[in-house]
Chains A and B, each alone.
Chain A
């Protein structure tokens, strides 16, 4: 694997070739009848359905409306995860006692997939905004906490010593030494959180009774509308990619700014 680095054009065409090959295989399998149509809708039907759903409602809303209500839940869940996870991570990175208390619980909980929280989320927080937000929170929370914690724990020891010899109190130590030192790690964590939160969306919307892409897919499944399910999957994939691209840009921008400033 010691090939020369590929040019942008080469990378682009390889990616395009992969995509064309994938859609080609999909078309072949469905059109040729090797895989029955109700199992695998053909790409043209899916594309048509996608365009229809942009304006025609299904399960009470058009695709953009479903996406908008999904995004609202998602934003609440991820923001909540960031506002709880980052400060808790920093505090754990500074106070050894808190670290020792929280880490065992956290290490157990974080391996429970967000979807496993569905029954309790519905029971505790209802199927309105609370339950789904909790499931997205469950997906987005661990990277926020872990990255803030690691960022705080691995601050250059000399800087901690400098802060201590200057008589810096704990609160100021966390806000003015640990936090700025941990920013790159926190940003990376937020990006992972944003991705995992979006992945948890369909699970979160299993229990939603009003609108959302996940809700739309569940309804479509009930009436065996496989194209609509597929449209939901594609929409989730596209929006997820978009979120990731935007956050990547944001991260790169922050790094450049820090490179100048720090």
Chain B
């Protein structure tokens, strides 16, 4: 189980800067929701509140009906800048969360082997992060999150620091993994195509103070138009139904004056 709920959430920074205004959003178990919005609209703040890194100024953020009070391994985070421990190998990075759960060594190595296989990292298990490319490092960060079997997965512009080709590969990988192994995912991005390609629903935010302007149901269209028949992202992106959704979101974002960075 892993539902996420924002109820009348406000966030004020420094006593006066209103970053989020009355956010209401319900994310069901195993649902993949992407939030898109202009830079500085507070979309990352939404994720950080679910992670427990920041508290709402008013309203409630809850996971499975329990209000979030602190960070924890039931809500694994994948950061834009990877945040791997530079002094730990790939294996040790993935292992840390498992050791924190006090699992026996045998079980841990089995889980690590599974995570390495899932992310195609088997041959890099003993490498240090700086020896890997950005895409590989982000695979490690995803493996580190997945191995914990978290109730929800929080991804904060996870592919934002990657080059265009790597990004596409990672997007396809994420689709592959989440089809095989569905999770509740909250995915933050400012890339419109990425949101439409990956998510079941896309929430569009306004510029600061961030509000949720519109929530689009992508899943209904994806199933109706059978996007999953096309293994490659560029084929899906060519479909009329995809273009239609993308253009819709694009126009919606354009109306926000602060929008300039997609």
Contact = CB atoms under 8 A, between A and B. Distances in A.
Interface of A: 156, 158-159, 161-169, 172, 176-177, 180-181, 261-262
With most chain A CB atoms within 10 A of its CB, the pick from B52, B83, B148 is B83
Contacts of B96: 163, 166, 168, 176
A177 B93 CA distance: 11
B97 A167 contact: yes
B100 A161 contact: no
A165 B100 contact: no
A37 B56 CA distance: 78
Nearest to A172: B100
B148 A166 contact: yes
Given A165-B77, A166-B144, A159 B97 contact: no
Q: Dominant SS at the A interface?
A: helix
A167 B81 CA distance: 20
A181 B97 CA distance: 18
Closest 8 A/B residue pairs (Cβ): A166-B97, A167-B73, A158-B83, A162-B83, A164-B71, A167-B100, A180-B87, A262-B86
Contact of B83 (A159, A167, A169): A159
Given A164-B53, A167-B97, A181-B87, 12 more contacts: A161-B79, A162-B79, A162-B83, A162-B84, A162-B85, A164-B52, A165-B51, A165-B73, A167-B72, A176-B88, A176-B96, A262-B87
B160 to A, nearest CB: 14
A251 to B, nearest CB: 17
A163 B97 CA distance: 8
Contacts of A162: 77, 79, 83-85
Interface residues of B, number: 27
Interface of B: 51-53, 70-73, 75-77, 79, 81, 83-88, 96-97, 99-101, 128, 130, 144, 148
A168 B100 contact: yes
Nearest to B75: A165
17 contacts: A158-B81, A162-B77, A162-B83, A162-B84, A164-B52, A164-B53, A165-B72, A165-B76, A166-B73, A166-B148, A167-B72, A167-B73, A167-B97, A167-B101, A180-B87, A262-B86, A262-B130
Contacts of A167: 72-73, 97, 100-101
Contacts of B77: 161-162, 165
B73 A158 contact: no
A261 B87 contact: yes
B137 to A, nearest CB: 12
Given A167-B100, A180-B87, A261 B148 contact: no
A176 B130 CA distance: 18
Contacts of A163: 96
